[in-house]
Structure 1
Amino acid sequence: MLVLGALMLGSALSPAFAGSGPIKIVLPEEADLLEPCMATRSNIGRIIMQNVNETLTEIDVRGDKGVMPRLAEKWEQNGDGSWRFHLRQGVKFSDGTAFDAKDVKHSFERAMSEKITCESRRYFGGMTVTPEVVDDYTIDFKADPVQPILPLLMSLVTIVPEETPVEFVREPVGTGPYKLTDWTPGQQIVLTAREDYWGEKPEVTEATYLFRSDPSVRAAMVQTGEADLSPSISQLDATNPATDFSYLDSETVYLRIDHNIPPLNDVRIRRALNLAIDREAFIGTLVPDGAVLATALVPPTTLGWNPDVKVFPFDPEGARKLLEEAKADGVAVDTPITIIARTANFPNVTEIMEAIQAQLQDVGFKVELKFVEVAEHEQYYSKPFKEGRGPTIVASMHDNSKGDPSFTMFFKYATEGTQSGFSDPKVDDLIKRASAAVGDERAKLWSELFAYLHDEVVADVLLFHMVGFSRVSERLDFKPTIATNGTLQLSEIKIK
């Protein structure tokens, strides 16, 4: 009786006892693969990044600590500009092998290898980075040109065992708190907590990932208890203050223009595309209140943000005049243009793209709209582009929650960038100088680049910096962050 009374008193003084157990998470897109070096892609990263495969460093998205230790306990810059990382000892991979500097060296070289198309390689464009093992738990990275933010860049490189082949793997092995225990394509993915994890034991013992493209279905699954968490629902479904949370999103929705194919190689056509779209009309209707109209491919919290760059106005008559002017000069403005969009990429993607198609058609563009799954979308989005292709615009959403434009600018805009749709010597020069600069000079150069891309090159059609909405079961203690759409750490989820 005394013991029972003590327990009852404890529950009266505390809102809920901390618990542990399995949870279910429902996502909008199924993972097409679970390759660790592709974890910077949101549909993969939100499952395995920091859950199965960890990085040397990570960003504090819940506070102001900046770059924090993960598999590296500390680091410093050497006299020659290289960076030395001191690794955590006593760490094991999920296959039982020990973690050391050779694994880090292999993981980096594998991610940068031209034999496989790792997404993380894109962020290291325009530089040469060479890892050198100092001893079992010390490794140097030498970059040319010197990279002042290399510890930040290392938050993107997932670590795998030295024995991992230089080819995509189906079953990832990592040092994280979870291991993959089931993957039934089209149905579910299951991660199970490891007993031998080096860090603090998480409360979530098992996570089952389910996939539903309809945001209303995802919201209903959490409401009925069929799932515990949906990191992405629509604003229309976010009706319960007890379970639904809005969060600042680091995603930017935009249309990537392929400048290489007429008539999109004419800057007047690209300006007309921008003038034809009524961006304001989307806010509070198909796009959530709180979303910000974009003038750059990075959110306003990013270093070098340029407040002097203004959003293209909605000017359909101006768009028509540009098309007439280009046509008079022999530009084939009547050529059909195809917009390639990714199914379930974000809430209301179908309705948003159909509305944009109608607005473009209204000023005289001939526009076709094609929806594809994530794997096919990548074929249009990344090089090598298909030979014999017609004029193409790729609708996409880019995530940069790191606070620095270097995670965007090279692979999106440089001549050699994997997802760049054009080549411009001034852009290449600004990216190269800004990437190597520090302090005010770095911010100034990025700011100059933002203005040049938007006002002179008219590189793409920038649309919205998004706001996200999540539904979280009342049995969980979890608040989404700016990183939630791309990285969903199970260890941050507490069970009441």
Structure 2
Amino acid sequence: MKRSLLLAALLLGSTLSSAQAASGPITIVLPEEADLLEPCMATRSNIGRVIMQNVSETLTELDVRGDEGLMPRLATSWEETEPGNWRFHLREGVTFSDGTSFDAKDVEHSIERVMSDKNACESRRYFGGMTITPTVVDDNTIDVTVNPPQPILPLLLSLLTIVPEETPMEFVREPVGTGPYKLTEWTPGQRIVLTERDDYWGDKPDVTEATYLFRADPSVRAAMVQTGEADISPSISQIEATNPATDFSYLDSETVYLRIDHNIEPLNDVRIRKALNLAIDRDAFLGTLVPEGAILATAIVPPPTLGWNPDVKVFPYDPAEAKKLLEQAKADGVKVDTPITIIARSANFPNVTEIMEAIQAQLQEVGFNIDLKFVEVAEHEVYYSKPFKEGRGPQLVAAMHDNSKGDPSFSMFFKYDSKGTQSGFSDAKVDDLIARASAAANGDERAKLWSQLIAYLHDDVVADVLLFHMVGFSRVSERLDYTPTMATNSMLQLSEIKIK
């Protein structure tokens, strides 16, 4: 009897050890194709979900699973030696996926490349309004001077991907990075395959290979995980999220909104912008086309971002007042009958088509002449970012903005400053508040300035049609140990996935 119990215990121990050491390939099904795999574009969600921290790493990393705050990645430590100057100490023994060694010259080149006007790096927008000068101290040390001083520069650098110094300024098709995986296959429109590296500097991940597939329909993505054709779908709709064993919901860091182009009549009239906001019944979407747990938005950043202003109130649903404002503007000669186009990104989030069609109908009901146009992600960027097309008509660009970093600096300059790449207007007070808040080292003062900006943008400028801070739904195979986070929609780290 004792011998049988001992044998059983040994067998059980062997089984547990095997389970703990499980590794192998997985398949991930995404809603949008990756039009690029350029490292400096990894801040765009359809690209970052694939390569951010998997192929391309950053100097620092924000802990979104715990309370460690800003963590080392390719930099092991850093300190501000004087206002505006930071010294970063770099990890030794790191190699890129092409076999070359990582050192301070690679960091210098990566910063200069992102800030160069020879490309259209999306991550540059997070460093708007500042001049960044990297200076190599030695192979493992680099100074970064920023003007005006930025007290959260190490946090900002959590979005700057590092590439070899040999990388051209122009975009590359195949990324070379220091991450735990390398790109081994990319068939546009069909699949992307990342394979683990034997020479990665960090811990060996459970996932040996990841195949990315693309399906626009959220019900198809959910079904693929259910049948075992895929292991993870980071984005499914609330309707499909019915299995508590595999489905997760979480308040993510995405804000859905309509960016208003103030430069074109009639959108240059604040009465028109207010009417747009008053015409939409935001509450009617909650629990129907938008998940019940979503929060109505009053800012481009979600709570509890620093400076989020609880005193700013959501525009009420008041179609009568919207019609009144349109009539007043028309009486003053504003061309309120001009067709306005909503430009939306196909498969950007679950129910995007139905949500935009409902908004179109609500705007038409109060008297707006609204067209609706859906485009793929690459074309969407043409409408969303500068330089805007000459001769364009009035536009509302439907978008979903992610800020999981906890500070409005990751949103405000490029969204609202006069020189911001996605700003639809110019306002001197907005520019001043952004500059002062970004440079404020005192946390209370910084929060106060961001709070003032949020109120001014919403109540006085009426910058956008702010809609929802979204709830995300994911489906994860029961063979995996993985819980989505608020950052999952923009960054899906394979090294965090465990295989049972």
How far apart, in 1, do the equivalents of 2:83 and 2:12 lie? 62
Q: Does 1:125 align with 2:108?
A: no
Q: Does 1:162 align with 2:165?
A: yes
Q: Does 1:449 align with 2:453?
A: yes
- Which of 171, 181, 193 aligns to 2:174? It is 171
Unaligned runs of 5+ in 1: none
SS of the aligned residue for 1:393 comes to strand
C-alpha displacement of 1:102: 0.1
Q: Which amino acid aligns with 1:411?
A: F
C-alpha displacement of 1:112: 0.8
* 1:33 aligned residue: 36
* 2:353 aligned residue: 350
C-alpha displacement of 1:151: 0.3
* 2:484 aligned residue: 480
- Report if aligned partners of 1:257, 1:460 keep a CA contact under 8 Å in 2: yes
Unaligned runs of 5+ in 2: none
Q: Which amino acid aligns with 1:452?
A: Y
Q: 1:187 to 1:106 in 2, by over 3 A?
A: same
SS of the aligned residue for 2:168 comes to coil
How far apart, in 1, do the equivalents of 2:75 and 2:173 lie? 26
- Report if aligned partners of 2:234, 2:473 keep a CA contact under 8 Å in 1: yes
Deviations 1:186-232 (A, max 9, x none): 11000000000000000000000000000000000000000000000
C-alpha displacement of 1:251: 0.2
How far apart, in 2, do the equivalents of 1:200 and 1:87 lie? 18
Q: Which amino acid aligns with 1:390?
A: G
Deviations 1:383-404 (A, max 9, x none): 0000000001100000000000
How far apart, in 2, do the equivalents of 1:301 and 1:129 lie? 29
* 1:73 aligned residue: 76
Q: Which amino acid aligns with 1:333?
A: V
How far apart, in 2, do the equivalents of 1:9 and 1:481 lie? 33
Q: Does 1:93 align with 2:96?
A: yes
How far apart, in 1, do the equivalents of 2:398 and 2:20 lie? 46
- Report if aligned partners of 1:11, 1:17 keep a CA contact under 8 Å in 2: no
SS of the aligned residue for 1:78 comes to strand
C-alpha displacement of 1:129: 1.1
SS of the aligned residue for 2:64 comes to coil
C-alpha displacement of 1:14: 8.2
C-alpha displacement of 1:11: 6.2
- Report if aligned partners of 1:192, 1:205 keep a CA contact under 8 Å in 2: yes
Deviations 1:155-176 (A, max 9, x none): 0100000000001100000000
Count of matched residue pairs: 496
Deviations 1:313-364 (A, max 9, x none): 0000000000000000000000000000000000000000000000000000
Q: Which amino acid aligns with 2:498?
A: K
* 2:207 aligned residue: 204
- Report if aligned partners of 2:196, 2:209 keep a CA contact under 8 Å in 1: yes
How far apart, in 2, do the equivalents of 1:292 and 1:131 lie? 40
Q: Which amino acid aligns with 2:365?
A: D
TM-score under structure 2 length normalisation: 0.98
* 2:337 aligned residue: 334
* 1:368 aligned residue: 371
How far apart, in 2, do the equivalents of 1:93 and 1:247 lie? 34
Counting aligned pairs with the same residue, the percent is: 82
The correspondence of residues 199-238 of structure 1 with structure 2, limited to 5 A, is: 199-238=202-241
How far apart, in 1, do the equivalents of 2:232 and 2:178 lie? 25
Q: Does 1:143 align with 2:146?
A: yes
- Which of 419, 424, 429 aligns to 1:426? It is 429
TM-score under structure 1 length normalisation: 0.98
C-alpha displacement of 1:81: 3.2
SS of the aligned residue for 2:77 comes to strand
How far apart, in 1, do the equivalents of 2:7 and 2:242 lie? 39
SS of the aligned residue for 2:274 comes to helix
How far apart, in 2, do the equivalents of 1:166 and 1:379 lie? 21
Deviations 1:43-74 (A, max 9, x none): 00010000000000000000111110000000
